[in-house]
Amino acid sequence: MMSTWQSLAESLVRERYRPLVAYAYLLTSHMGDAEDAVQDAIVATFTRRARFANTAQAEAYVRRAIASKVIDERRSRSRRTARETRFEFPWELEGHDGPVALHVDVATALAELSPRVRACIALRFMADHSTAQTAHALGLSEGAVKRYVSDGVARLARTLGTVVTNDESVEVQAHGGMR
């Protein structure tokens, strides 16, 4: 007979493995590292036989473990070697433009962010978490998440050349009404 934690672990892997790897990929910029991070986080989570009421709780815990692992690994790597960002592409890019080029630009820009900022951006915009959910998932205050997201969005905008200038902005005027 299978214990509750084992069935929950199997359910998590069966139902949420791909989204967890996608999340980890946004943090690592490397598919192999992303898969390793997810597997390590799942093993660490369920080796302790933590008690979760459902798959959603287990997934939230695993996401936090992924972010922590990636951040810790990045810190230790940067201590050992000069800081460098690596990004590997599994396909040939010469001659591509449009969606492929945009994907490469965004992926490269994300890889330039610090791991914690990247984690906040990934949860807020790619996983569609609220500020409160992101803060809870990463063990941060909501204010810290807002700051990391603001800094990350500003850096991405500069890197990708998507900063709105005054010529493109439109002034909004309120004409009374209810809030």
DSSP for residue 73:
H
Picking from 55, 88, 121, the residue at the C-terminal end of a domain is 88
> Would residue 27 count as lying in a domain?
yes
Residue with token string 């390590």: 40
Cβ atoms within 10 Å of 35's Cβ, excluding its own: 16
Backbone angles phi, psi at 58, to 5 degrees: -65, -40
Is the pTM higher than 0.85? The answer reads no
82 is written with which tokens? 């000069």
What is the distance of C-alpha 18 from the center of its chain? 14
> Do 143 and 71 share a domain, yes or no?
no
Picking from 41, 67, 88, the residue at the C-terminal end of a domain is 88
> Do 27 and 55 share a domain, yes or no?
yes
Range of the domain at 156: 95-162
121 is written with which tokens? 């951006």
CA-nearest of 117, 114, 137, 110 to 20 is 137
Backbone angles phi, psi at 167, to 5 degrees: -65, -30
Q: Is 87 left (phi over 0), alpha (psi -120 to 50) or beta?
A: beta
Distance CA 158, CA 51 (A): 43
What is the rounded average pLDDT of the residues 13-27? 92
> Do 40 and 102 share a domain, yes or no?
no
> Do 73 and 33 share a domain, yes or no?
yes
> Do 14 and 57 share a domain, yes or no?
yes
Distance CA 88, CA 47 (A): 31
Picking from 88, 105, 132, the residue at the C-terminal end of a domain is 88
% helix / strand / coil in the chain, to the nearest 5? Answer: 65, 0, 35
Would you state the pLDDT for residue 101? 46
> Would residue 176 count as lying in a domain?
no
> Do 105 and 72 share a domain, yes or no?
no
pLDDT band at 122, cuts 50/70/90? confident
31 is written with which tokens? 């598919």
> Do 112 and 135 share a domain, yes or no?
yes
> Do 112 and 68 share a domain, yes or no?
no
Would you state the pLDDT for residue 72? 82
What is the distance of C-alpha 113 from the center of its chain? 11
Biggest alpha carbon–alpha carbon distance for the chain:
67
Cβ atoms within 10 Å of 157's Cβ, excluding its own: 13
> Do 3 and 72 share a domain, yes or no?
yes
> Would residue 157 count as lying in a domain?
yes
> Do 106 and 158 share a domain, yes or no?
yes
Would you state the pLDDT for residue 147? 95
Tens digit of each residue's pLDDT (9 = 90 or more) over 130-177: 999 999 988 999 999 999 999 999 998 888 877 544 454 456 566 666
What is the rounded average pLDDT of the residues 12-29? 91
**CATH code for the domain of 113:** 1.10.10.10
> Do 81 and 103 share a domain, yes or no?
no
> Would residue 171 count as lying in a domain?
no
Residue with token string 């597997």: 39
> Do 101 and 82 share a domain, yes or no?
no
> How many domains are there within the chain?
2
